[in-house]
Structure 1
Amino acid sequence: MAQSMYVHIPFCTQICHYCDFNKFFIQNQPVDEYIEALGKEMSLYDLDNKEMKTVFIGGGTPTALDAFQMERLLTSIHDHIRLGKGYEFTIEANPGDLTKDKLAVMKEAGVNRLSLGVQTFNEQLLKKIGRAHNVDDVYRTVSLAREAGFENISIDLIYSLPGQTIDDLKETIDRALEFELPHFSAYSLIIEPKTVFYIMLNKGKLSLPSEDTEASMYEYVMDRMERAGYHQYEISNFGKPGYESKHNLVYWNNEEYYGFGAGAHGYLDGIRYHNHGPLKKYMNAIGNGEKPIIEQINVSMRERMEEEMFLGLRKTDGVSLEGFKRHFGVDMNEVFGEVITNLTQKELLVISEGKIKLTRQGKLIGNEVFQDFLL
């Protein structure tokens, strides 16, 4: 039974060159009507004050909302659910967007975790990737958040950016660590279709680090975070003990969750679903009293087993042999024995403490490893 929910806010004050998430430039958009539609969508799921262990508001840019809109959004969420003991309530934020008023509204509503999209501490790279904030905004935002009483703050970083060098990355990591925050994420840049960078790449106007440089950057991130006392609990995530992202672990543990908003994905009762992305289609469906779902997939037993492996292997803790058998009623080796043997011989996987885990080399080519688990 799902005890987690994702809420999508698709509005941005600026469109980043690498972003392929469902988003719209906020000017002249029906923001207030959208917030109202979100509440109506939640009503269609008969949540009835259901207890949630994790809530995650992402985007887009949730903090593009003003304080009044943010309050309406958070009130609407509380109208439908209650927060369980030890809950985690995260909002994604852009440095520079957060004000004292917005932070006070969030704190009052029980938000207890902020995820800041910093990406890099290099001013030139920030401009090159289309970010709206500057480095000073990061310092001001972290200071404001701490003054408002937020302790659980995470910073997102991206490496392998156009023109980025290892030295650039080292400086970014050093400056990020100076904050002594409890959590960091570091993702390699992926060029997605329909983005500015995708168009530039196809025109030969985008210079990216080589694959070897990207691998060296990732290894540096892993080693530097470990030296600083952060546990790499997932391929791209590092935290102090007790500060791992509970919501993201829902995804990696292949658990079910509600997804609300335009373009949101959810997973309920063995069915993965995807909402309409265009605002008009999303809001028309809500206006007709219908769930705004454009696609539903009944996940077969085989697909669930595949997901258990390629999602679970993202975690440093790996996938439990006993847990797999308990969950599916079949031994993991009966289903994936040949794949596991092959990847173990290549030293990309290791079996340790009753769990299948990626080796360091496996982490470097994780996506290739995951592909092998698609039957």
Structure 2
Amino acid sequence: MSSILSSEQLTTVKKEAASLNKPTSAYIHIPFCRRRCYYCDFAISVVGDKLSGENSGTISQYVEELCKEIQATPKLGASLNTVFFGGGTPSLLSVKQLNRILEVVDKQFGIASDAEISMEIDPRTFDLIQLQGYRNAGVNRISLGVQAFQDELLKISGRSHTVADIFAAVELIGQVAFPSFSIDLISGLPYQTLQQWQESLEKVVEIAPTHVSVYDLIVEPVTAFARQYQPGVKPLPSDEMTVQMYKLAQQILTNAGYEHYEISNYAQSGHQCRHNRVYWENLPYYGFGMGAASYVEGKRFTRPRTRQEYYKWVESGCQIDSEELSANDILLETLMLGLRLAEGLDLSTLLQQFGAETLNEIWTCLQPYYQQGWVEILDEEYSGLQPVMVHQQLCAGSINAAATQTKPTGCTSLTCDPLDELNNLPTSGRLKLTDPEGFLFSNTILAALFEQLETNNNKRRMR
């Protein structure tokens, strides 16, 4: 990608990135599933309905290779604050296998005493003894892959559980003292109605997990769904129906006391997913296992997506063959990830990292979306993180003034249009998308923003 920032700004961003170059989080991929769901394009390995844990040589071999990778990875920072077992279906691990992995991780990196240790689990893949074993091993946050509360939708999606299995799983979870419990749902499934979606949301509220993830179906290439369905065409919901589903989830879950803290995630107070925030805040993290991604020392790397290729990679020394991200990549990723959070991006941090010129270019592109009510500025200096709407707040402290160390000037009239005055972003506060409209149109906003930044850069190069 061509440079959006000046050479001086590039150096600043590199230094900022280096200061955050010590990962304290780890993602561990457990790729095994009973079957492949029809919407899934993840790196998984199907083991069928009978094999799991130590009665599967396939899983046992994988655990050993995984531990080799962990042991071959140097510790770069402090002890781990978050560990996330994703998949796949991590609950196909035996308690002994989970303990082995965690012991290797702790020996290699250290796990903080207050670390969040998350584990994805699926209905019908565990019993009470297993859950108790996971908890005793240190798991303190579980995420149950529910997806829907209608048997017909589960079957259409290729899920291996029923609604009865969901409630049986919830009953078992209730008998084990997990501090945090999340449920995953998917909207936009084939033949799914708005009434069914409302029913699923209401059942989640009745169960009252501490966290809810709501994902809109994406029809990925090379999946069973991609061979059957076309986005926006029946039996998939229309774009209008998809919007209704998103807004309904936002309404029902926030009314039930959940904070909508990220585009797809809701949490009770104190139960945001600490591990996923590492991604959204564009911080470094280790990644282990088949197909797992990592972000370490400024490099993003994805491991081989098949078991045999992954094993070869481990046995050959776990070489990370990727280039360090450019400062421009860091800028675009910071915008793309940070604007997913309800709190958005800190303006003073952006100014320090990327400079006044870049931020004013960002704001020039975002102003039409601000006028549509999709983008918002919260001013912490003047109104305790309230929307910037009062004229004096808008005029105070522009980025240009900060860059030139001069006092900002502006109209003193209280009757002029604040949108006309907000030509530059304030030097403090937060830049964010509104909920739900800004979140709904986040892809549109980001695509326009990235295109405009590139266009501006190309114009500079032609001068």
Which structure's CA Rg is the greater one? 2
- Indicate whether 1:26 and 2:47 are aligned: yes
Measured at CA, do residues 346 and 48 of structure 1 come closer, stay the same or move farther in structure 2, by a change above 3 Å? closer
2:206 is aligned to 178
8 Å Cα contact 1:321/1:332 also seen in 2: no
2:168 is aligned to 140
2:246 is aligned to 218
Q: Deviation at 1:141?
A: 1.4
Distance 1:92 1:5 in 2: 14
Partner residue of 1:321 out of 322, 347, 354: 347
Partner residue of 2:441 out of 356, 361, 365: 365
Deviations 1:184-212 (A, max 9, x none): 01111000011110011269996101000
Distance 2:361 2:278 in 1: 24
Q: Deviation at 1:77?
A: 2.6
| More divergent stretch after superposition (135-144 vs 315-324) | 135-144
- Indicate whether 1:298 and 2:373 are aligned: no
| More divergent stretch after superposition (49-58 vs 327-336) | 327-336
| More divergent stretch after superposition (227-236 vs 203-212) | 203-212
Distance 2:339 2:186 in 1: 21
Measured at CA, do residues 36 and 333 of structure 1 come closer, stay the same or move farther in structure 2, by a change above 3 Å? same
Partner residue of 1:355 out of 407, 430, 453: 430
Q: Deviation at 1:9?
A: 0.8
Measured at CA, do residues 102 and 332 of structure 1 come closer, stay the same or move farther in structure 2, by a change above 3 Å? farther
Distance 2:357 2:76 in 1: 38
2:28 is aligned to 7
8 Å Cα contact 2:291/2:304 also seen in 1: yes
- Indicate whether 1:311 and 2:337 are aligned: yes
Residue identity in the other structure for 1:14: R
The structure with more strand, counted as a fraction of residues:
1
Normalising by structure 2, what TM-score? 0.77
| More divergent stretch after superposition (336-345 vs 129-138) | 336-345
Identity rate, percent: 35
Instruction: Show structure 1 runs of 5+ residues with no match.
Output: none
Residue identity in the other structure for 1:372: A
- Indicate whether 1:154 and 2:182 are aligned: yes
8 Å Cα contact 1:200/1:206 also seen in 2: no
Distance 1:140 1:21 in 2: 27
Distance 2:68 2:112 in 1: 22
Residue identity in the other structure for 1:299: L
Q: Deviation at 1:147?
A: 1.3
8 Å Cα contact 2:262/2:341 also seen in 1: yes
Q: Deviation at 1:325?
A: 2.2
Normalising by structure 1, what TM-score? 0.94
Q: How does 1:95-134 map to 2 (within 5 A)?
A: 95-134=123-162
Distance 1:75 1:214 in 2: 44
8 Å Cα contact 1:55/1:247 also seen in 2: yes
Measured at CA, do residues 335 and 256 of structure 1 come closer, stay the same or move farther in structure 2, by a change above 3 Å? farther
Count of aligned positions: 373
Deviations 1:33-63 (A, max 9, x none): 1111111111221238951011101011111
Deviations 1:169-192 (A, max 9, x none): 111111111111111011110000
Distance 1:204 1:240 in 2: 33
Distance 1:59 1:53 in 2: 20
Partner SS for 1:157:
strand
Q: Deviation at 1:64?
A: 1.8
Partner SS for 1:296:
coil
- Indicate whether 1:91 and 2:119 are aligned: yes
How well do the aligned residues superpose, as a CA RMSD in angstroms?
Answer: 2.1
1:344 is aligned to 370
Deviations 1:277-331 (A, max 9, x none): 111111012122333x4x5242111111111111101001011101212344556
Partner SS for 2:149:
coil
- Indicate whether 1:16 and 2:91 are aligned: no
8 Å Cα contact 1:344/1:350 also seen in 2: yes
Distance 1:21 1:127 in 2: 19
Q: How does 1:221-240 map to 2 (within 5 A)?
A: 221-240=249-268
Residue identity in the other structure for 1:46: P
| More divergent stretch after superposition (334-343 vs 125-134) | 334-343
